[in-house]
Structure 1
Amino acid sequence: MRKGSVKEVLAKLKYDPREDEEDYYVIIEHRGAYGDVKKIPVGMIDLGHGYFFVGDAQIPYHRILKVVRKDGKVIWETRKL
């Protein structure tokens, strides 16, 4: 399940022509609200160096808890869970 960093996994989903980024989403922990999570489609994400962007929002990669396929299969999960 966990192969490489979350940034590497997201880059593969976004740029590998064999993958469809619309089939995946990330689950992040919302800042300042322990236990409050948000689900963001990978297609809405722009990758940066230490952060990813959703529109004007800049979110650090360490907030990502999981990368999940639409069918519910977890393809990457943080070790801190």
Structure 2
Amino acid sequence: MRKGFVKEVLSKIKYDPRENEDDYYIVIEHRGAYGNVKKIPVKLIELGHGYFFIEDTQIPYHRILAVVRKDGKVVWKKSGLGDDVRF
């Protein structure tokens, strides 16, 4: 995947009227959380340049491991993650 593609995926989910951001969450690398990952509903994030925001917390896009629909379908996954990884 090309650099910045995850932001394009998130922009489509947040701003395309055919999508419902309530149907998606992101999985981020979060040291200290169970399994070092954390799931965050897309509706709670704001997109920025190089970072996304959750309230006042700035998190770089490279920490996103996957974008997942609530039905479990992975719509984007960071390259290098195996096919057996489940979110």
TM-score, with length taken from structure 1: 0.89
User: CA-atom RMSD, angstroms?
Assistant: 1.8
Structure number with greater CO (CA < 8 Å, separation at least 6) is 1
Return 5+ residue gaps in structure 1 as ranges.
none
Number of equivalent positions: 79
Output aligned runs, 1:1-81, within 5 Å: 5-31=5-31, 35-81=35-81
Tell me how far 1:49 sits from its aligned partner: 0.1
Note the alpha carbon deviations across 1:19-77, whole angstroms, 9 max, x for none.
Answer: 000000000001477x4000000000100000000011100000000000000000000
Structure 2 gap ranges (5+): 82-87
Task: Provide the identity percentage.
Answer: 72
Output the CA distance in 1 between the equivalents of 2:63 and 2:17: 27
Instruction: Give the aligned residue type for 2:10.
Output: L
Where in structure 1 do 4 or more consecutive aligned residues deviate above 3 Å? none
